[in-house]
Amino acid sequence: MTIYALVDGNSFYASCQIAFQPGLVNRPVVVLSNNDGCIVAANQIAKNLDLQHIKTNSMGSGGYHAATPDSMMFQPFFKVAPLLKRYNTAVFSSNYELYADMSQRMHAISAQFATRQEIYSIDESFLDFTGMPKESLHSHALALKKRIAQWIGIPVAVGIGHSKTQAKLANHLAKTNADGVLDLTQMPESALDALYKKVKVGKVWGIGKRLSEQLINQEIKTVYDLKSANSKTLRKRFSVNVERIALELNGQACFDFHEKPDNKQNIVSSRSFGQNVLDFTTMREAVSSYTATAAAKLRKQQSTCQALTVFINTPRYQTHLAQYQNQYTLPLIYPTDSTILLTKIALRALQHIWYEGYEYQKAGVMLTNIQTKTNLQPDLFAPNPQYSGNPKSDNLMKALDNINQKMGKNTLQLASSGLQKNRWQMNRNLMSKRYTTRWEELLKAYAG
């Protein structure tokens, strides 16, 4: 029987900031989303701040994240700014370069503690603990936790179970455990049931707000209720996925390990603008720039795409402004990974949906119909049947990627991306140094 462990960095982004400014450890710390828009990470002290007066209407019903009463998360920054200030909170703009580098280090350490690892997100990985002596699982996890703390200064929690869902749940519960580790595999059935009875069904991985409401309507209120529900009924009333989740809670693994990350089936690059965009020239630059980012991601996974979508919209929360949103998809005759070609297509798609007179807040580019380059299916009936990649373009793109990787993003770019990005680029007014990836931003220590 496979044993799964889930390692998860506590308030990961906030912990990354604290790791380099240990003086913050006793202060509330929050990290903002792109554009300094809302809060995406908060340490426990910040989470404990009194949110009474800001609980209402956090992101509106159309938001990605419903506000949960206990959470500072996803509150618009401007709404909580006065409260944060009152409590002397350290506020940071997102510093993705720093978090990505710290993430790699954390995952590398975790990998040393298991035969297999699945990197699930920037701050989480599943580990395979199968075959380890049962009584030592807990101490093994503690050793892992200790090493990550010592080597990179990030606190983690570890959950252990017979399925991914159990490991996720154990991890969630471990966060409030004294030592930050919880092993469900060593728990007798009765103890497990007693524990499950105390946890709300919405805490289960894969049960979001909507499903949780629907389950509660059917008298399935706790993890125990879900675990003991009839699995065929669950499939009929909800979905095959809910059925699987229930089985997983029973210790029957339905979701496999994925050691190698799958190639993306869709690649999106989109951003909110630092300030609303009114003119086509500026919008062209933004769309060109997002296309370049998406195309670089595409080449990184050695794929091509055969369709591209551009979307633009006005700010939905600024209700006094005229609202408009639209998207347009263009198929390509040949699969490609060329920034030059994709940019042409993207700008053509933009022409289709652009209307003068609106204040635009966001734009994005999505690449779809993605295929890996190695199993490209050339279209025999296309006018140019021998096409299966274009060596000249491939070399050019390779050179572009190499230079940008070595010298920094946007060292080399198309003229259509523009040089005055400050007209639309996001605000990050509170960014810390990139301690681990830039020589000139290294931490300095003074002796004497």
Q: Summarize as ranges the residues that interact with DNA (CB under 7 A).
A: 33-35, 37-38, 40, 57-60, 63-65, 74, 76-78, 120-124, 168, 204-212, 239-241, 262, 264-272, 276, 293, 297, 315, 317-318, 361-362, 364, 426
CB 317, min distance to DNA, A: 4
Residue 132 vs 431, nearer CB to DNA = 431
Reference 300, options 414, 220, 397, 423; nearest CA is 397
Residue 390 vs 423, nearer CB to DNA = 423
CA 387 to mean position of chain CA atoms: 36
CB 23, min distance to DNA, A: 27
Residue 57 vs 104, nearer CB to DNA = 57
- Rounded alpha-carbon distances, angstroms, from residue 148 to 30, 80, 304: 22, 32, 38
Residue 216 vs 340, nearer CB to DNA = 216
CB 170, min distance to DNA, A: 13
Residue 268 vs 332, nearer CB to DNA = 268
DSSP 159-197: EEESSHHHHHHHHHHHTTSSSSEEEGGGS-HHHHHHHHH
CB 328, min distance to DNA, A: 10
Cβ atoms of 3 and 160 within 8 Å: the answer is yes
Tokens of 143: 């050793």
CA 358 to mean position of chain CA atoms: 30
CB 358, min distance to DNA, A: 14
Residue 134 vs 352, nearer CB to DNA = 352
Strand order across the beta sheet in which 90-92 lies: 39-42, 29-32, 90-92
Distance CA 125, CA 144 (A): 13
Distance CA 127, CA 7 (A): 8
CB 402, min distance to DNA, A: 21
* Four-point Cα dihedral 285, 286, 292, 293, nearest 10: 160
CB 240, min distance to DNA, A: 5
CB 221, min distance to DNA, A: 15
CB 300, min distance to DNA, A: 10
Cβ neighbours of residue 166 under 8 Å, at least 6 residues apart?
4, 159, 184, 248, 249, 251
Reference 106, options 154, 175, 174; nearest CA is 154
Distance CA 277, CA 359 (A): 6
Q: From the DSSP assignment, how many helices (H) and strands (E) are in the chain?
A: 14, 13
Strands 124-128 and 4-9, sheet pairing: antiparallel
In one letter, which amino acid is 342? Answer: L
Residue 198 vs 209, nearer CB to DNA = 209
